Every structure is written in C-alpha cells, then in structure tokens.
Amino acid sequence: MTPPSVVTAVWVVIALTDWGLATQRDPKARCDAGASYTCSVEQLQTLKLTHVPNVGYQMALLNRRFGLSLTHLSSAVIQRQFSITEACQAIQKLTRVRVVDNSTLGNTPYHRPPKCIHVYNKTGVGKVGDKILLAIKGEKKKALIVGHKMPGPTMTPRFDSNNVVLIEDNGNPIGTRIKTPIPYTLRRREGEFSKVLAIARNFMYLLHGSDCEIHIVTGKSEPWIPLNSITPGWLQAGGMILSEE
C-alpha cells in the first residue's frame, strides 16, 4: 500500500508548496471549527510542517530541497490512523494574545495570559481585522486583531507577536493609545475601525514623530493639528478631537 500513500504525500506536499495552506487541503482533511476527524500519518507529517510558525522559511526549504522532503515523507510513512484537527494558523481559540493598547484591563498583570475563546468569523481562524472574544482576568472582552505571527499576503507586515486591541461591543476601543505599529490594511474598513485607527500612533511605515492623545468623552474643543491620517468622515463619526503633544 505504499504507492498510494506516497502519492497522497506528494499531493499534499505540492499543495503546501503552492502556498494554498489555509484553503487547499486534502478532501479528507476538511473540518469545521473545532471538529476532529481522522487522517493518515503522512497527512499528519505534512500538517505538522504547517504548525511551524515561520511558514515562509519552511516553504523555502521545501522549494529548495524538493527531493529531500519527498524522500523524508515516504520513508516516514506508517500505516496507522491518527485523529487530529486541521492546522489553523493566525489566531484561533485558546491562542494567547498580547494586548497592545494602554487600557488598565490589558496591562495589569495576572497569573494567566489573555486567551482567545471565540473568533467572530465563519472559519475559526482570525486574521488582521477580525473580532475575537478574549478571556482576561476572569472577564470576557471583545478585541480586534491588529497583527499576527502568521505570514499573510506579500506587502503586509508580519509581527513577532499576536497583537490585539481591546474593544467594546459597539466598536469603541477601551484604551486611549496604541504604541505598537498597526498594518495599513485596516484603513480599508474605516467605518468600523475609525476609532481604533484614531488612537493608533504608529501606522505601518508611517511613523509619526509626535505623540497623540484622544479626549473621547469630554469633547473639548481644542485646536487640533491635523494628522495626515484624518479624513472628514471620522470627525463626523466620533466627534473626536486629537491634539498633538
């Protein structure tokens, strides 16, 4: 039975090398969020590769040593059934995240790190711009993903930690400042994230030298110095006033 298993191994390896990790999968290996199913060991072997955080490097290795990976897989194939869940990347249930804004809830130390308990998405995998539910300090709080360790499309930044911004149910950020850089792709959804974008200090590639602070609730009419990122739609949305220190 080795030839067909080698063939499936080859198929999955080819699927991997085509960058179709999240979407192209062996038909047997399809799952809904949280479901488990059985697949054979060579799939386990190949899927194990995808658990590696740096997929790009693995890709490069595979591309360079194409022959090597095949021999490696075929030699390690054993006919046994294992049950595993689909390898999901980026942020999903039970991932530990890093809260990036300056809210008290996010920054006070606790003996357990904030963990994701639900992703508001059709698939259970959260990418940049998705809302998730976090368990922080024994409370449930919604949050917005602003960066993950998984490499995304080219030209988008990949961060070294899974970053998250705490948010209320209506979309208002809880903190007042975000110091870490945020990808520009969030700008596309400005209607939803206008308030979050407003408190972000560093946009990816565009680093402001000065600091910005927001007076959200008070609505003081102080003269504001326009940042490059302000559009008229925003001011109407929140009536927020920015002042540069």
Partner 1 sequence: MSCFGCFSLSGYRVSSDGKPPKFQPPPKPVIIDRKTQKEERRFLSPEFIPPRGRTDPLKYYIERKDMIQRRKVFSIPEFYVGSVLAVTTADPYASDKSKRFVGICIQRGGKGLGATFVLRNVIEDQGVEICYELYSPRIQAIEVLKLEKRLDENLMYLRDALPEYSTFDVNMKPVPRMEHEEIPVNKVRMKPKPWSKRWERPKYNIKGIKFELPEHKMKAAQKWSQPWLEFDMLREYDTSKIEAKIRKEL
User: Cβ–Cβ contacts within 10 Å for residue 216, how many?
Assistant: 15
Q: Which residue ranges make up the site for partner 1 (CB under 8 A)?
A: 52-54, 56-57, 59-60, 63, 65-68, 147, 151, 154-161, 163, 179-181, 184-185, 187-188, 202-207, 228-229
Question: Residue 181 Cβ, how far from partner 1 at the closest point, in Å?
Answer: 5
Closest CA to 101 of 223, 216, 190, 189: 216
The full length of the chain comes to 245
Question: Which residue, 39 or 150, is less far from partner 1 as judged by CB?
Answer: 150
Report the C-alpha gap between 127 and 20 in whole angstroms. Answer: 16
Question: Residue 85 Cβ, how far from partner 1 at the closest point, in Å?
Answer: 22
Question: Residue 169 Cβ, how far from partner 1 at the closest point, in Å?
Answer: 26
Question: Residue 98 Cβ, how far from partner 1 at the closest point, in Å?
Answer: 9
The 3-state secondary structure of 174-221, one letter per residue: CCCCECCCECHHHHHHHHHHHHHHHHECEECCEECCCCEEEECCCCCC
Tell me if residue 33 falls in helix, strand or coil.
coil
Question: Which residue, 39 or 200, is less far from partner 1 as judged by CB?
Answer: 200
Question: Which residue, 138 or 209, is less far from partner 1 as judged by CB?
Answer: 209
Question: Residue 5 Cβ, how far from partner 1 at the closest point, in Å?
Answer: 23
Question: Which residue, 133 or 204, is less far from partner 1 as judged by CB?
Answer: 204
Spatial contact of 80 and 111, defined as CB atoms under 8 Å apart: no
Question: Residue 59 Cβ, how far from partner 1 at the closest point, in Å?
Answer: 7
Question: Which residue, 37 or 57, is less far from partner 1 as judged by CB?
Answer: 57
Q: Between the CA of residue 55 and those of 17, 19, 69, 74, 149, what are the distances in Å? A: 10, 9, 15, 21, 10
Question: Which residue, 56 or 171, is less far from partner 1 as judged by CB?
Answer: 56
Report the C-alpha gap between 11 and 163 in whole angstroms. Answer: 34
